[in-house]
Amino acid sequence: MSKVKQLSAQRRERAGKGAARAVRREGRVPAVIYGAGQSPVSISLDFRETNRLIYAGHFLTTVFEINVGGEKIRAIPRDYQLDVVRDFPIHVDFLRLGEGAMVKVEIPVHVTGQETSPGLKAGGALNLVHHSLEFMVPADNIPDHITVDVSKAKIGDSIHVSALSLPAGAKLISHEKDATVATIVAAGGSKEEA
């Protein structure tokens, strides 16, 4: 489960393009916190810290406690914009989290057990159908990843979402009822199973 991270911010009095450009010239990143039935709060973040957090990974699935002039606001990043040429952050949107809030997040899939899989030992290949899955989860219980164990999978086996152990309160958001996450397929020239 992701830990709540601390983030400090400064309140911005003005909003709009001109104000955002002025904030960027000061070496900061303009941002906004919205949601939970409250009015939006315009803030600015430290450029280096924001850049590091985005490129460290799991940014959009991390809950932050943002300190805005002594007021602490729990929020999760919903979106960020990068400069199209130089790939540095130019704006971040945060969604304010109320008590017991459910959030929609995309969680990465990690595969374990490749070393002991009979299908892979026989020359099969792992086909990861979904690299991430979209879930509705409680904001206080966002998992870092979903683990798929292929240690007993043979050639031709498929692993579906129903076979995975999901975090408490997580609901899959998908058009498929029981999506296939991974399969073991026969690779060209693989040995036949005995």
pLDDT digits (tens, 9 = 90+) for 108-122: 899 999 999 999 999
pLDDT of residue 13: 84
CA 71/CA 24 separation, integer angstroms: 23
pLDDT of residue 16: 84
Which residues, in sequence order, are bridge partners of residue 18? none
pLDDT of residue 36: 82
Instruction: List Cβ neighbours of 5 (8 Å cut-off, separation of 6 or more).
Output: 53, 62, 63, 64, 65
Q: Which residue has the tokens 């979106």?
A: 79
CA 50/CA 66 separation, integer angstroms: 12
Residues in the chain predicted with pLDDT less than 50, given as ranges, are 190, 193-194
Contact 2, 58 (CB under 8 A): yes
pLDDT of residue 190: 45
For the chain, list the domains and their CATH numbers. 5-98 (2.40.240.10), 103-185 (2.170.120.20)
Both tokens assigned to 173:
């958001």
pLDDT of residue 42: 94
The pLDDT tens digits for 149-172 are 999 999 999 999 888 888 788 888
CA 115/CA 118 separation, integer angstroms: 9
CA 20/CA 86 separation, integer angstroms: 18
Q: What is the pTM of this model?
A: 0.74
Contact 81, 91 (CB under 8 A): yes
